[in-house]
Structures are given as C-alpha cells and as structure tokens.
Amino acid sequence: MGQEIERKFLVAGDGWRPREPGLVYRQGYLPTQAPATVRVRLAGAKAYLTLKGPTIGLTRAEFEYEIPWTDAEAMLQQFCTAPLIEKTRYRIPVADHVWEVDEFAGDNEGLVLAEIELSHEAEPFTPPPWLGPEVSHDPRYRNSYLARHPYRTWAH
C-alpha cells in the first residue's frame, strides 16, 4: 500500500525563490462519498489520477497512477468541481531533503505553501530560514479544501 507522510508550512518572505522555473500544475477533485479524495492532476506534460485516504497523524494512504493527458483534461472539464487548483511547484533542496514549494494562482493567489515528505513521522529535518508556521494539521490548507473554499475568499 502506498502512503504519504508529509508536513506542510506557510512560507515567509521571498527567500525561497529559486532561479529555475517551476512546474505548472492544474488539478481538480471528483466528488465522492468515500472517506477519501480523488484528484486529477496535470503536471507539466504528465497527468495523474490520485486517491488519498484520511489523514491519521501525518500519514495517509496514497495511490497515484499516470493516465493519458487527454483523459485527464476531459475529467477536469467534465467531472471535477470548480474552481480548479492552479499552482507552480518548485523543488528546493535543503540539507538531506527536497522541499516542494507551491505558489498558488487563480482563486488561491497569494498563498505559498512548503511541503516536505518524510520516511516516518518523527524523521528530523533542517528547516530552511524562509519557513513560516506549520499548518500540517489545519485542513484548510489541503488542496481539496482550497478547491471548495478558495484562499481569496478567506477573511485575512
């Protein structure tokens, strides 16, 4: 069984910005009654269908499958609820880990999140200086939530 162990943080300032361009993502979520999320994602020139189970601690089941681009485009248009998540992902090496920084666009513009995937929940890591508060346990910062409640609509 696939699993994801992830910690998520807000980003403080612009000190994280790399020189290399990021990868543009567009993704949506299929409505489901199951205690899981079903995501369709376009990431650069590739497309994926991902199923994620409920989070327990920092861990959840995750199954991801590459699918044809044209199928993903059709699913995003026909089955996913609006608005879609639009973001650019940057991969930034820090010490022994690679951070993924997502700079959101569209209805979630203004939000910048950093994620680190770990091999176990207690794995130590070096926090970069641009790391802000941790939001791992705040469901509002999950992409599936942001698709239904865009960041621009939040009271800041």
Question: Catalytic residues, which ones?
Answer: 29
Phi then psi for residue 86, to 5 deg, are -120, 130
Contact 114, 8 (CB under 8 A): yes
What is the identity of the amino acid at 84?
Answer: L
| 118 burial level (CB within 10 Å; 0-12, 13-18, 19+) | middle
- DSSP secondary structure string for all residues of 77-126: HHTSPSSPEEEEEEEEEETTEEEEEEEE-GGGTT-EEEEEE-SSTT---P
For residue 1 the two structure tokens come to 């069984």
For residue 131 the two structure tokens come to 């790391």
